[in-house]
Amino acid sequence: MKLNAILSGTTLGLAMATATHAQEITILCDDVGFGCSTMAPIAERFNEENPGKTVKLETVSYQTIVEALPVQLESGEGPDGAIITDLGGLSRYYLDLTSHVDAGYFEEEFGRTLEWLRGSDRKSKAVNGMPTSLTVNGAYVNLTLFEQAGVPVPEEGATWDEWAEAARQVAEATNTEFPMEMDRSGHRFASFAISHGAELVDEEGNPVADEGLKTAIEKFVGWHKDGTMPLDLWGAVGGSTHRELFEDFLNANVVFYFGGSWTLSRMDTEVGDLFEWAVVDTPCGPGSCTAMPGGGALVGFKHTEQPEVVGAYIDYVSQPENYKEIIAASVEIPAAGTLIEEGVDYPGASERTKTALSTFTNQIPKMAPAAYRFQGWRYQRAMMNALTTRISQVINDELTVDAALDRIKQDVELAIEAAEGN
């Protein structure tokens, strides 16, 4: 009798433990901006308020999310959810959250960026995740160097050429190594190209290598050849490798640095008061004064065995007070419409960072339709990889600009063909 009771108790205990364990989900995220550490307090609160449901945040590098996660997902494995940035490219793996969240609220708050999560399916109304933050790429300048050189800082509406000229004057007067620098990233180059009139992708989702792109590549390569930009990034590195040299700006080795809003907290903590710096309005080209939008999203994956928990957690994070708390801690631009309108108070950020954030936010209305189209395109990464690879080859005289344009178009077409099984 006693033995029976013990056995029953043990069995029940084991069953409960299994049930509790079965309610655990894992979310993969990196540690930059809206990521694991800024989301941790919210996850802890969720776990406390929902006994039996556990959210485990697993911190990994950005590279892991970009390169390893898609392979895991393709094999039907991987975490239950993640914060990802290839919004359209991973669309076929997303869990539709429509029945787990307030779809109307999501549509109202995240409308435009929600579209990016639907990939090439333009008719879909699925809620494939919660856009976390908006990122905007843009330019940081070293104001101290401008002041020392006695060169006026170009004002809003200044062109790329005017900025290059001003940066060259400053570099010459202050003996700074390089006037300008841009991360080796197709996303960064895309804003430069679109502002020069490039379309990159047409309405039907076909790659476009037009005169605008040609002008942009010629100018960009010219700046590397004449020393306006260092060869260390776009010249020295090959393939699709992402590379940035933030240290150059930190050490005042460069006057003008084209990065993005996600670097702000690093600017604040690492550059701080070493010298005066500011985010400036995105330079203009003949086509527009566009920056590239971007951002991440918190998504669940179809293969999860706990769709309710994933849905409940994403719904919990999307609640205005929780979402606002994470955005404030991560010092990023919110993706939710109401917060963009109302503005966010960033308690831990310096005045300079707050001003910089508002400058970044001011670029959003100036973004060209081509920039939005490119960001939501399923094959955006194929184009960005082709841009970095081929432009580096032009800088190293392996290809002419015309040959590079043909190659960029061909690379993306081959990628589309291969993806569609042809």
Partner 1 sequence: MRATAALSGAIAALAALPARAVEPVMHGAQKALGIKQMPWVFLIPNLLAVLLFSLMPVFINLFYSVTGSDRLYPVDRPYIGGANYETLFDCGNYLDPSTCSRDLFWRALGNTLVFVPVQVAAMIGIALFTAICLNRDIRGRGFFRSIFFFPVMLSPVVVALTWQWILQRNGALNGLLTSIGLNRVNWLVFPDSAFFWSVFVTVWAHMGFFTIILLAGLQSIPRDVYEAAKMDAASPWRVFTRITLPMLKPTLLVVFILCVIRSVQTFDELYVLTGGGPGSATILIVQYIYEVGFAIQPRNFGLAAAASLLLGAVLMIFTLIQLRLARGRNL
Residue numbers at the binding site for partner 1 (CB under 8 A): 67, 70-71, 74-76, 86, 89, 230-232, 235-241, 243, 247, 251, 253, 379, 381-382, 385, 389, 392-393, 395-399, 403, 407, 410, 414-416, 418-422
Residues whose CB is less than 8 angstroms from the CB of residue 61 and which lie 6 or more positions away in sequence, other chains included: 30
State the minimum distance, in angstroms, from the CB of residue 262 to partner 1: 20
State the minimum distance, in angstroms, from the CB of residue 27 to partner 1: 22
Q: Looking at the DSSP assignment, which residues form a beta bridge with residue 83? A: 298
Q: Which is nearer to partner 1, 339 or 382 (CB)?
A: 382
State the minimum distance, in angstroms, from the CB of residue 315 to partner 1: 29
Q: Which is nearer to partner 1, 215 or 385 (CB)?
A: 385
Q: What crossing angle do the helices spanning 369-376 and 380-395 adopt, rounded to 10°?
A: 110
Q: Which is nearer to partner 1, 292 or 382 (CB)?
A: 382
State the minimum distance, in angstroms, from the CB of residue 288 to partner 1: 27
What phi-psi label fits residue 53: left (phi over 0), alpha (psi between -120 and 50 degrees) or beta? Answer: beta
d(CA 73, CA 128): 15
**Residue 87 structure tokens:** 């919004």
Q: Which is nearer to partner 1, 362 or 410 (CB)?
A: 410
State the minimum distance, in angstroms, from the CB of residue 314 to partner 1: 24
Check if the beta carbon of residue 350 is closer than 8 Å to that of residue 270. Answer: no
Q: Which is nearer to partner 1, 155 or 420 (CB)?
A: 420
What is the chain's alpha carbon radius of gyration, rounded to the nearest angstrom?
A: 23
Residue whose entry in the numeric block shows the structure tokens 């702000």: 264
State the minimum distance, in angstroms, from the CB of residue 223 to partner 1: 15
φ, ψ for residue 244 (rounded to 5)? Answer: -140, 155
Q: Which is nearer to partner 1, 241 or 355 (CB)?
A: 241
Q: Which of 245, 313, 341 is nearest to 83 (CA)?
A: 313
Check if the beta carbon of residue 145 is closer than 8 Å to that of residue 174. Answer: yes
CB-based burial label for 12 (10 Å; 0-12, 13-18, 19+):
exposed
Q: In 10 A of CB 156, how many CB atoms?
A: 13
Strands 81-84 and 24-29, bridge-based pairing: parallel
Q: Which is nearer to partner 1, 76 or 111 (CB)?
A: 76
Q: What crossing angle do the helices spanning 401-419 and 380-395 adopt, rounded to 10°?
A: 150
Check if the beta carbon of residue 308 is closer than 8 Å to that of residue 53. Answer: no
**Residue 100 structure tokens:** 């787990």
Q: Which is nearer to partner 1, 232 or 276 (CB)?
A: 232
Q: Which is nearer to partner 1, 273 or 397 (CB)?
A: 397
d(CA 92, CA 338): 29
Helix or strand holding residue 256 (H, E): strand 254-260
State the minimum distance, in angstroms, from the CB of residue 307 to partner 1: 21
State the minimum distance, in angstroms, from the CB of residue 190 to partner 1: 15
Q: Which is nearer to partner 1, 66 or 126 (CB)?
A: 66
Q: Which is nearer to partner 1, 204 or 397 (CB)?
A: 397
Q: In 10 A of CB 319, how many CB atoms?
A: 13
Q: 129 by DSSP, 3-state: which? A: coil
State the minimum distance, in angstroms, from the CB of residue 156 to partner 1: 33
Distances (CA, A) of 156 to 35, 163, 278: 32, 11, 13
State the minimum distance, in angstroms, from the CB of residue 128 to partner 1: 18
State the minimum distance, in angstroms, from the CB of residue 399 to partner 1: 7
E-only strand ranges, 129-185:
130-142, 178-182
